[in-house]
Amino acid sequence: GAGVSQSPRYKVAKRGQDVALRCDPISGHVSLFWYQQALGQGPEFLTYFQNEAQLDKSGLPSDRFFAERPEGSVSTLKIQRTQQEDSAVYLCASSSGLAGSQGSYNEQFFGPGTRLTVL
Amino acid sequence: QQPVQSPQAVILREGEDAVINCSSSKALYSVHWYRQKHGEAPVFLMILLKGGEQKGHEKISASFNEKKQQSSLYLTASQLSYSGTYFCGTAGGTSYGKLTFGQGTILTVHP
């Protein structure tokens, strides 16, 4: 079966441009997470969706970052007016169960990520 | 707060064993272990849940000391395919299952 897919795999943007990163989770997965991974570091949480509801966006670094999952499947992470510090790999992960203290037991399946480079 | 992993890097010969540790200053509900190869997605290895439950690959073993808020991943009889960066991700009981990852441990296995 298909895993989590992300597109584009690589994106180069000039500073100030807007970008949109897409995530296709595993079909039927309720939970969807976005993470940011800087070079040589572990992934850092950005935001969480349960179906179409964005229940946690505490990790979004600024109001230039916006995520949506309008139909509860595909998700898009949008970054407006990109800055050099936004350069990173953006990972999407999906999980079959609900998050929360019980949902912490569910493994997250990661996509290959989108490598964003802001010049 | 980010969990701390040790060691930062390990170099092994095929067949040797290794232990990777993950320590948190916060109370933990579960610990998740992933392996990531360069340019690829992190791959799930194991979840250890408070209370002793575990879920993961049969060939991987790990422990979770709730009192010390520590977890260890045991890699035995290492193979070349074990090379990669290992991350632990911790989840607190009140979180949405969002994971706070350590900085990673780079494992290199040589023939």
Amino acid at residue number B31: V
pLDDT along chain A (119 residues), means of 10: 90 98 95 95 94 93 97 96 97 81 74 97
> Residue A107 and residue B44: Cβ atoms within 8 Å?
yes
**Nearby residues of A80 by Cβ (< 8 Å), 6 or more positions away:** A18, A64, A65, A66
> Residue A105 phi/psi, 5° resolution?
-85, -10
pLDDT tier at B17, thresholds 50, 70, 90: very high
Whole-number pLDDT of residue B55: 78
User: Residue A89 belongs to what H/E stretch?
Assistant: strand A88-95
Structure tokens at B61: 């073993």
What residues contact residue B44 under an 8 Å CB cut-off, 6+ apart? A107, A108, A109, B32, B33, B34, B56
A85-94, B36-45, B89-98: the lowest-pLDDT one: B89-98
The encoded tokens of residue B94 equal: 């009140």
Q: Which residues of B touch A104 (CB under 8 A)?
A: 29-30, 49, 91, 93, 95, 97
d(CA B103, CA B4) in angstroms, rounded, equals: 7
Task: Count Cβ atoms below 10 Å from residue A93 Cβ, excluding itself.
Answer: 28
Question: Residue B20: is its pLDDT beyond 80?
Answer: yes
pLDDT at site B28:
80
Q: Taking CB atoms and an 8 Å cutoff, what residues of chain A touch B71?
A: none
**The pLDDT of residue B57:** 74
User: What is the mean predicted confidence (pLDDT) over B74-84?
Assistant: 94
Predicted pLDDT of residue A34: 97
Choose the mutation target among A104, A109, A114, A115 for the interface with B, i.e. most B CBs under 10 Å: A104
Residues of A in contact with B89 (CB under 8 A): 42-43
Chain B residue with CA closest to A100: the answer is: B96
